Chains A and B, each alone.
Chain A
């Protein structure tokens, strides 16, 4: 029986994916799990694996096409079999190598979020002109009423005047636009509250040195403070499941796995790369994975599983010498921890002024999921863990 190949939804609010390349040709045999196509989402370029065995047939999406999530773009058929008629095009969830962590509740959230942004309108004249000039209308920013694309917008793109942005305005990239929309949505709809706590990192630094020495002979492994914080966070989250839960309109959804998302800077924005099941991973594993993710993020080649399923986010701006900051939650996650740099500060130690390596943590929480006391308990547990990292790691 024919298996449909659909444009996968790789993240919560993805609406379309751009087809970058077919890795197989029409009529070629493919086996399940082989790379089948390459797509670009709002955040990353990803490879999509074949959902089954068969012969690739009935390709409907050309390279460069922007396709709505869930739309069938090809079929895997038995040799000699014809692809079905294209009436059956809506398979909502990603069938290719999309994250197995997705739950039905998550899909429901995705469905509601998809309404936010409809495809832009284009005037009949503009559509005709775009066809005549060979202009890709997905690249045009409409300037007409309700952001309708007008023929002027088409013409100015064809004339090489960019995406018809007004003078002095930088048109937004996909990543930048998505970041703007998601942070706006979170900041205006999630009731944030913030808890701040300083923590002594002396032992944490010692632990990092020790791990580094232990792993010296392991190629490509050099645990950082961030890696240790991921490991500690995950262990502490295991004791505070509510901090690892998600808000949904139906109620609070607990997440069976602890997947720590690490905020990483990419061109034009930020992306949350996910260390799955971080509570059961060894520091060496976390370190290796985190390094790989960083490299893929820099190259803009994150894979679907790399950016999906996060249940709690860690954002570290210590390397920028930031003392402390408040971060915006990534819905439907319940919280995000923002950590600043570790710096030597004078403070009382055993009744005398002492100098200790201190770090300020700011926990942003969704008040619909957790209250102040619950978040404080978690932050206290985390501070204890950082002060005595050997106990958990």
Chain B
């Protein structure tokens, strides 16, 4: 992180700043989605953007995710650099044909003649009391598809740098923001910077166990690492920042050094991102591992509306701490 980064922004402000900077920099960049203009999205991420760039570049759409995502794909193919806003990640289901069969395939199927330089921004994360259809973390779905890049920032600094890179990328990029993290503050430099896709970030250095955490789980992992420190376990926390491209080398090298690894992610544990990353580590670091690679994801249930029930469906500092402690043989 640059030394001058003393200014603090919220996660939402960092996203908005990245968008504004890229829109000023490149007139082809435009935003559309539900309630993105005057409302500035229900999470107020885009507040004020329409005032600077007008309703032609910050455009409200009808409630039709399939329709306006297809519009985004077409706009990208024909020369714009759209940033499509899908309010809740749960609504990705409606965009699947456009993303999986069109956006991801066009460049390949046209022999490189067409490209789809679009960004689809959406949200993930539970514990907002939004019930089963507004609380899912479906990033594994898109990470599974060749032709799509998937970004999952965990800090305001990463959010801004990664979003700018995503907008400048010539390929379709899906950008997941944790809806519970929008008010989280962190240092963000004022000058222009970008962060390359496919480069993991070591959020905390440690010796005894590697905790790979994504998006909403990075702060959870850092909290668990503090608890582990108190019992003499030094945990390294690594944020891959993008599930594809995936910085396999950094993950494997860390696991080789600590010889124990856990992967924590808010998506469903089964057939999920944790399984993929754990497998990468197991294959790459097997002969340096003291224990099986442990996964923690969301419980395999529709997210309950009941707050006490919802809270137990996702990993917490305490559950992560307990699992890590057991893995290290300290419990």
> CA separation between A227 and B303, bound complex, in Å?
77
> CA separation between A145 and B259, bound complex, in Å?
14
Complex contact B329–A143 (CB within 8 A): yes
Main secondary structure of the interface of A (DSSP, over half): helix
In whole Å, how far is A153's beta carbon from the nearest beta carbon of chain B? Answer: 10
Complex contact A125–B329 (CB within 8 A): no
Return chain B residues, CB-CB under 8 Å to A123: 259, 289-291
Instruction: Let me know if A120 is at the binding interface, CB within 8 A.
Output: no
Return chain B residues, CB-CB under 8 Å to A124: 286-290
> CA separation between A123 and B292, bound complex, in Å?
8
Return chain A residues, CB-CB under 8 Å to B289: 123-125
Q: Which residue of B lies closest to A126 (CB)?
A: B290
Instruction: Let me know if A288 is at the binding interface, CB within 8 A.
Output: no
Q: How large is the interface on B (under 10, 10 to 19, 20 to 34, 35 or more residues)?
A: 10 to 19
Return chain B residues, CB-CB under 8 Å to A150: 290, 329
Q: Which of B287, B326, B329 contacts A128 (CB 8 A)?
A: B287
Complex contact B290–A144 (CB within 8 A): yes
Number of cross-chain contacts by CB at 8 Å: 32
- The 8 A CB mask of B287-331 against A (1 = contact, 0 = none) is 111110000000000000000000000000000000000110100
In whole Å, how far is A335's beta carbon from the nearest beta carbon of chain B? Answer: 43
Complex contact B259–A125 (CB within 8 A): yes
In whole Å, how far is B281's beta carbon from the nearest beta carbon of chain A? Answer: 12
Complex contact B259–A151 (CB within 8 A): yes
Complex contact A145–B329 (CB within 8 A): yes
Return chain A residues, CB-CB under 8 Å to B329: 143-145, 148, 150
> CA separation between A112 and B327, bound complex, in Å?
31
Return chain A residues, CB-CB under 8 Å to B288: 124-125, 128
Residues from 128 to 175 in A contacting B, C-beta threshold 8 Å: 128, 143-145, 148, 150-151
Q: Which residue of A lies closest to B330 (CB)?
A: A145
Return chain A residues, CB-CB under 8 Å to B287: 124-125, 128
- The 8 A CB mask of A240-274 against B (1 = contact, 0 = none) is 00000000000000000000000000000000000
Return chain A residues, CB-CB under 8 Å to B327: 145
Return chain A residues, CB-CB under 8 Å to B326: 145
Q: How large is the interface on A (under 10, 10 to 19, 20 to 34, 35 or more residues)?
A: 10 to 19
Return chain B residues, CB-CB under 8 Å to A128: 287-288
Q: Which residue of B lies closest to A123 (CB)?
A: B290
Complex contact B259–A148 (CB within 8 A): no
> CA separation between A150 and B291, bound complex, in Å?
9
Q: Which residue of A lies closest to B326 (CB)?
A: A145
Q: Which residue of B lies closest to A145 (CB)?
A: B329
> CA separation between A70 and B138, bound complex, in Å?
52
Q: Which residue of B lies closest to A144 (CB)?
A: B329
Q: Which residue of B lies closest to A143 (CB)?
A: B329
> CA separation between A124 and B327, bound complex, in Å?
15
In whole Å, how far is B190's beta carbon from the nearest beta carbon of chain A? Answer: 46
Q: Which residue of A lies closest to B328 (CB)?
A: A145
> CA separation between A82 and B286, bound complex, in Å?
39
Pick from B290, B326, B329 the residue with the most CB of A within 10 Å. B290
> CA separation between A266 and B259, bound complex, in Å?
43
> CA separation between A145 and B290, bound complex, in Å?
10
In whole Å, how far is B262's beta carbon from the nearest beta carbon of chain A? Answer: 14
In whole Å, how far is A13's beta carbon from the nearest beta carbon of chain B? Answer: 28
Q: Which residue of A lies closest to B327 (CB)?
A: A145
Return chain B residues, CB-CB under 8 Å to A144: 290-291, 329
Return chain A residues, CB-CB under 8 Å to B286: 124
> CA separation between A123 and B289, bound complex, in Å?
7
Return chain B residues, CB-CB under 8 Å to A145: 291, 326-327, 329
Return chain B residues, CB-CB under 8 Å to A151: 259, 290
> CA separation between A102 and B60, bound complex, in Å?
86
Residues from 152 to 208 in B contacting A, C-beta threshold 8 Å: none
In whole Å, how far is B290's beta carbon from the nearest beta carbon of chain A? Answer: 4
In whole Å, how far is B163's beta carbon from the nearest beta carbon of chain A? Answer: 39
Pick from A123, A128, A148 the residue with the most CB of B within 10 Å. A123
In whole Å, how far is A133's beta carbon from the nearest beta carbon of chain B? Answer: 14
> CA separation between A144 and B326, bound complex, in Å?
10
In whole Å, how far is B287's beta carbon from the nearest beta carbon of chain A? Answer: 5
Return chain B residues, CB-CB under 8 Å to A125: 259, 287-290
In whole Å, how far is B255's beta carbon from the nearest beta carbon of chain A? Answer: 10
> CA separation between A148 and B287, bound complex, in Å?
15
Return chain B residues, CB-CB under 8 Å to A143: 329
In whole Å, how far is A215's beta carbon from the nearest beta carbon of chain B? Answer: 61
Return chain A residues, CB-CB under 8 Å to B259: 123, 125, 151
Q: Which residue of A lies closest to B291 (CB)?
A: A123
> CA separation between A150 and B329, bound complex, in Å?
10
In whole Å, how far is A254's beta carbon from the nearest beta carbon of chain B? Answer: 49
Pick from B288, B327, B329 the residue with the most CB of A within 10 Å. B329
In whole Å, how far is B249's beta carbon from the nearest beta carbon of chain A? Answer: 19
> CA separation between A145 and B292, bound complex, in Å?
11
Q: Which residue of B lies closest to A128 (CB)?
A: B287
Q: Which residue of B lies closest to A122 (CB)?
A: B290
Return chain A residues, CB-CB under 8 Å to B291: 123, 144-145, 148
> CA separation between A37 and B290, bound complex, in Å?
37
In whole Å, how far is A268's beta carbon from the nearest beta carbon of chain B? Answer: 28
Q: Which residue of B lies closest to A127 (CB)?
A: B287
> CA separation between A143 and B259, bound complex, in Å?
16
Q: Which residue of A lies closest to B282 (CB)?
A: A124
Residues from 110 to 135 in B contacting A, C-beta threshold 8 Å: none
> CA separation between A123 and B285, bound complex, in Å?
12
- Can you give 7 A-B contacts (C-beta < 8 A)? A124-B286, A126-B290, A128-B288, A144-B290, A144-B291, A144-B329, A150-B290
> Which residues does A use to contact B, with CB under 8 Å?
123-126, 128, 143-145, 148, 150-151
Shortest Cβ-Cβ A-B pairs, 10 listed: A123-B290, A128-B287, A145-B329, A144-B329, A150-B290, A125-B288, A124-B286, A124-B289, A125-B290, A124-B287
Given A144-B329, A150-B290, 15 extra CB contacts under 8 A: A123-B259, A123-B291, A124-B289, A125-B259, A125-B287, A125-B288, A128-B287, A143-B329, A144-B291, A145-B291, A145-B327, A148-B290, A148-B291, A148-B329, A150-B329
